[in-house]
Amino acid sequence: MTTLRRYEEFEDESGRTVRYRRGDTGGLVADGAEVATDAHIGDQAWVDPGARVGAGAHVGPRSWVEPGAVVGPRAQLAARVHVGRYAVVGARARLGADVEVGAGARVEAGAVVPEQARVPEGVTVQRGQEQHALAA
């Protein structure tokens, strides 16, 4: 049986070393990230420094939450979701598998983004208006 290290260190694009702590479910949370104690960070998921994950949120396996991004309370991110820098996923929003949320984009509270959709940089997705804001 392979034992995973509790901490991992990586060099970021500016050459700084960033330390990540591995959670019980296998996800990695960087020093400087804020993750609620009851949030779930899935296996091989990453939460970068300066990112925030709210109470009861679920970040699926192999997902990535970039610096400055916010995942609101009870938001649900499926597998392989990418939340770009300073993007916001509102409370109770649901993002399907393989969704990409561009830098500075917003997915409003309660909105549903279907799998494999792309939310372009700076775009806001409102609940009930999802089909009008998503890129093909």
pTM above 0.85, yes or no: yes
Q: How confident is the model at residue 7, as a pLDDT? A: 86
Give pLDDT, residue 92: 98
pLDDT for 2: 62
Q: Which of the four pLDDT bands, split at 50, 70 and 90, describes residue 1?
A: low
Share of the chain above pLDDT 70, in %: 93
CATH number of 7-133: 2.160.10.10
CA quadruple 10, 62, 97, 69: dihedral sign: negative
The mean per-residue pLDDT over the stretch 8-35 comes to 91
Domain residues of the chain, as ranges?
7-133
Please report, to the nearest 10 degrees, the dihedral formed by the alpha carbons of residues 70, 73, 74, 76 taken in order: 0
Given a cut of 80, whether residue 134 has pLDDT beyond it is no
C-alpha span between 94 and 125 (Å, rounded): 12
What is the structure's pLDDT at 130? 65
> Using an 8 Å Cβ cutoff, are 107 and 125 in contact?
yes
- Residue pLDDT, tens place only, 42-98: 999 999 999 999 999 999 999 999 999 999 999 999 999 999 999 999 999 999 999
Tens digits of per-residue pLDDT, 54-67? 999 999 999 999 99
66-95 b/e (C-beta count within 10 Å ≥ 16 → b): bbbbbbbbbbbbbbbbbbbbbbbbbbbbbb
